[in-house]
Amino acid sequence: MSLKPIPGEEDCTGGDDEPKIEEPDLAPDDPMRAFLPKSFGKQTIERDVKVRVEQTRRAAPPPPPCRARPPQDSDSDDGDSSEEEEEYPLSHELTIPAHTKPISSITLDPPGTRFVTSSHDTTIKFFDFHAMSTTHLHPFKTLEPSEAHHIHSVAFSPLDNGQHLLVVPAAPQAKILTRDGDTVLEFVKGDPYLRDMHNTKGHVSELSGGCWSPIQRGVVVTAGTDSTVRIWDVQSRRGHRDIMVHKSRGKGGRSRICAVAWCGGVTGGSGSGSAGSAGGGVIGAMALDGALSIWSAGGPYSRPVMEVRDAHTKETWTRGLTFSSDGRLIATMGEDQCIKLWDTRKLKTPITTRASFPTPTPTPIIFSPTNNTTLLTGDTSNTLHILSSATLISEQTHSLSPPTSPEKTHPPSTASAAATTPSPLTSITWHANINQILTGSGHGCLHILYSPTISRKGATTLLSRAPRKRHIDDHNSDITTTDLTTISGDAVILPNALLAKKSVVADKRRPTMPAQTPWGKSQPDQAHIERSIGLSSMRDEDPREALLKYADVAEREPVFTAAWKETQPKTIYAEVEDEDEDEDGGKGKMRAGTNKRVKR
């Protein structure tokens, strides 16, 4: 290969003693030029943030139905339309493949720099916006808090700047972790042999929900399937602080608690003002028997201050339960495909009800942090619904995209499988500080919805960071979602590492199969057993028929009595006649071993 000087290089050299930089004689469109360096020294990668943000822009949603509005001038119309467009941070979307099973909950710390996701794959994952980039959408830590138990929810503490994390697994004991994932406390387990739940120090069966107190620091509440709601103090390790027992009218007097929520706002109205002013707000819980119960967080806990026995259909899991910021409104959503809005000042009947809504599992529903006139929820087709709290009608619907990243580096099989299989929206949260909405799907994908104009930090910080190079200590599984051009030079790549692909499960909501044991590798059929195991057919045979089968053979060719075959005497039995009476009218004696009588 001949080399020639770069054009214009002769003018910049001082003489013949100066080194001359030459480049290979290649055509301008030669592919080899992509592998040649263009300059010397350490290179800095410049990011065009506007291009990255534009790649995450969502398709424009269909226009909302036209409504009659009062006539206004043109200037005010333009201003109102611009404000409506930026009312919700939904213009851009960033998708992160976080888990392999449905995401049950998402929580962000109060500053909005770190978030944690929990899933039915028994793991929780810690993400940090400042440690992520578009080529590295991975958590910095993955934990399995309760072995082989899926996680119902995780929540950062709101009063200590997110220094602690509450983990509620599908087990009787909840845990308190630090923001870095270290275990601080595990609540005690109660005695399952005690009938009275007031005498147990903790839950005796699976937990179903939990949350932090919005007023009292270091206090949490948990709900379990043992028909109890318990209040815990992090400083006390001996047992729960207070207990609320739900007394069901069904058989046995117990019912599973499906959801629990703690509201710190002051509720008004007769009957509820004392509950809010007692200190600590109110605690709401939904039971499997369809009852909605409201307790005063300051006590007493012997009975709820408000209760609706038939709030939802019995024996249907009502997971969705949320309070408005002022505590006046309660929204519930269950598997009976009903969304109901309640007023704590008159809790006998719901204000508004929406039926036949495609409810996913779990059922996510929240109030908007900016006002109490908007509800956010999702359906079974991974569509985000923005509901009006007055009518529960969907003012806006936004279909979320399949799980693909802006770098388009994920395996196409994963995206195609997720696109063909319906994926419900299983979790949702809206962080007011960064003004971004995070949702989780049934395929384990995390969707970050934001707007470059009204959102702060969060996803915008992620997109502005330079691409991260793959380090030698990074996990090998990250190579499926990392651009190969960003791998560092000191990384060791095995020959088969690039060809390995993770198996795609058709339905990620299906439970994981148990580990295969040496005795359970195969399930042999009847033909295999008869062919490989000797005398295996004897289990289905009649023992008497099996012995009589060899009677003729034993008589012709005796094995044990062959020595006496010639000398063995022949057995002679007495002649037997039919039973009849003798002359004296008596009957003959019964011959032993027969049913005949022998005459005397």
Tell me, yes or no, whether 80 lies in a domain: no
Instruction: Determine the structural domain holding residue 101 and report its residue range.
Output: 86-134+362-480+488-513
CATH number at residue 353: 2.130.10.10
Q: For 379-502, where are the E strands, in sequence order? A: 383-388, 394-399, 425-431, 436-441, 445-450
- The CA-based angle 317-319-320, given to 5 degrees, is 135
**pLDDT the model gives residue 59:** 78
Domain boundary among 467, 498, 513: 513
Same domain, 317 and 195: yes
- Domains identified in the chain, total number: 3
Same domain, 337 and 369: no
Residue with tokens 């009976």: 336
Collapsed DSSP state (helix, strand, coil) of residue 218: coil
Same domain, 389 and 451: yes
Tell me how far apart the alpha carbons of residues 308 and 350 are, in angstroms, rounded to a whole number.
10
Same domain, 382 and 421: yes
Same domain, 321 and 386: no
Tell me, yes or no, whether 3 lies in a domain: no
Residue with tokens 């499906």: 258
For residue 210, what are the β-bridge partners?
222
Cβ atoms within 10 A of the Cβ of 70, count? 4
From residue 397, give the alpha-carbon distance in Å to each of 55, 138, 195, 436: 21, 29, 48, 17
Collapsed DSSP state (helix, strand, coil) of residue 545: helix
List the structure tokens of 49.
Answer: 């943030």
From residue 103, give the alpha-carbon distance in Å to each of 141, 152, 154: 16, 9, 11
Tell me, yes or no, whether 500 lies in a domain: yes
Same domain, 413 and 372: yes
**pLDDT the model gives residue 593:** 47
Tell me how far apart the alpha carbons of residues 74 and 484 are, in angstroms, rounded to a whole number.
53
Tell me, yes or no, whether 506 lies in a domain: yes
Residues 6+ apart with CB under 8 A from 103: 117, 118, 119, 426, 427, 440, 441, 444, 445, 446
Same domain, 379 and 247: no
Which H/E stretch holds residue 97? strand 92-97
Domain boundary among 336, 357, 378: 357
Tell me, yes or no, whether 55 lies in a domain: no
Tell me how far apart the alpha carbons of residues 491 and 470 are, in angstroms, rounded to a whole number.
8
Tell me, yes or no, whether 300 lies in a domain: yes
Same domain, 353 and 366: no
Tell me, yes or no, whether 475 lies in a domain: yes
Same domain, 217 and 296: yes
Cβ atoms within 10 A of the Cβ of 309, count? 13
Residues 6+ apart with CB under 8 A from 126: 114, 116, 139, 140, 141, 142, 143, 180, 181
pTM of the model: 0.71
List the structure tokens of 392.
Answer: 């529960």
Residue numbers in the chain where pLDDT is lower than 70:
1-23, 40-47, 60-85, 266-279, 402-422, 470-524, 578-600
Same domain, 378 and 353: no
Same domain, 188 and 335: yes
Tell me how far apart the alpha carbons of residues 10 and 15 are, in angstroms, rounded to a whole number.
9
Collapsed DSSP state (helix, strand, coil) of residue 197: helix
Same domain, 244 and 298: yes
Tell me, yes or no, whether 378 lies in a domain: yes
